[in-house]
Amino acid sequence: MNSKLKYTLIWIFSVVFTLCIAVYQRMTGPTYPVRGKAEIGGQTVKFRLIRTYDGNDNAPIKVIAPDTTIKGELKLRRFKSYDGWQIQAMQRKGDTLVGYLPHQDPAGKVMYDVTLIKGDQRVLLNDHSAVLRYKGFVPGYILIPHIFFIFFAMIFSTLTGFMVVFRMKHAYIYTWLTVIFLAMGGLILGPIVQKFSFDAYWTGWPFGYDLTDNKSLVAFIFWVIALVVMKKHRENQLWPIIATIVLLAIFLIPHSTLGSEIDFTKEQKKEVTK
């Protein structure tokens, strides 16, 4: 196989591989909607329960159920709180049942269950309570470049790993590109996205446990080490391969895991002690 064909195949695989990882990360994250089907009154109802909301109003929970004899019930309470459960009847708007979760400050969460009712039949849609997290709106001119830089950092990381393994040219250049794109996407635009979303630039180490921030920091450190080593020893294979594996492992962690959240129990304890 000539080098040009090998280079092309590596590029194609890296792009496809990165797309697959990005989809996996998003779909397995705690903010991805809960989807499913339910049978009630001999009918199949498909549902999609949202778990993140960036509006400044109450979050609408919608279930399409054209049969007007089907009613809906929302059971809810704030996540990480001593609140009691509230029951709310869902409103019918055409073929859709709609309920609303009370708005919270950014990083505030509300857990909820949805039950469909037809006659004496009751069907709970979600086996486990869905948890919705409120966040601030992130403008596209910030979010799109952030996603772009992170996505290409993963592509360049994968490319570098393969180039090192197959001893191809330009591995050092792609190491530089990986570091630059990681810095732009994770350490510059990432905190700006975090500020818009949760009113804090950095909630990872040493200030908190936000896994998204910590992932960016760890990946960047390993790739900087790989860059420094390769600057002195261009033929080094160990560190770029380690950095590639570390970034891959980090990207396999579901998006928004251990993200910012408000612990309402702390506020409630303070009120009790006053």
Q: How confident is the model at residue 176, as a pLDDT?
A: 95
Question: What is the number of residues in the chain?
Answer: 274
Instruction: Tell me the pTM.
Output: 0.84
Q: How confident is the model at residue 202, as a pLDDT?
A: 78
3-state SS of the chain is CCHHHHHHHHHHHHHHHHHHHHHHHHHCCCCCCEEEEEEECCEEEEEEECCEECCCCCEEEEEECCCCCCEEEEEEEECCCCCCCEEEECEEECCEEEEEECCCCCCCEEEEEEEEEECCEEEECCCCCEEEEECCCCCHHHHHHHHHHHHHHHHHHHHHHHHHHCCCCCHHHHHHHHHHHHHHHHHHHHHHHHHHHHCCCCCCCCCCCCHHHHHHHHHHHHHHHHHHHHHHCCCCCHHHHHHHHHHHHHHCCCCCCCCCCCCHHHHHHHHHHC
N- to C-terminal Cα separation, the chain? 75
Q: How confident is the model at residue 7, as a pLDDT?
A: 83
Q: Which of 26-35, 122-131, 175-184 has the lowest mean pLDDT?
A: 26-35
Q: What is the mean pLDDT of the chain?
A: 89
Q: How confident is the model at residue 170, as a pLDDT?
A: 84
Percent of the chain with pLDDT over 70: 93
Calpha distance 173→260 (Å, rounded): 35
User: Per-residue pLDDT tens for 117-164?
Assistant: 999 999 999 989 999 999 999 999 999 999 999 999 999 999 999 889
User: Per-residue pLDDT tens for 40-63?
Assistant: 988 999 999 999 999 999 999 999
Mean pLDDT of the 186-211 span: 82
Task: Answer whether CATH 3.40.50.2300 is correct for domain 34-134.
Answer: no
| Domain parsing of the chain, residue ranges | 3-28+138-264, 34-134
| Per-residue pLDDT at 247 exceeds 80 | yes
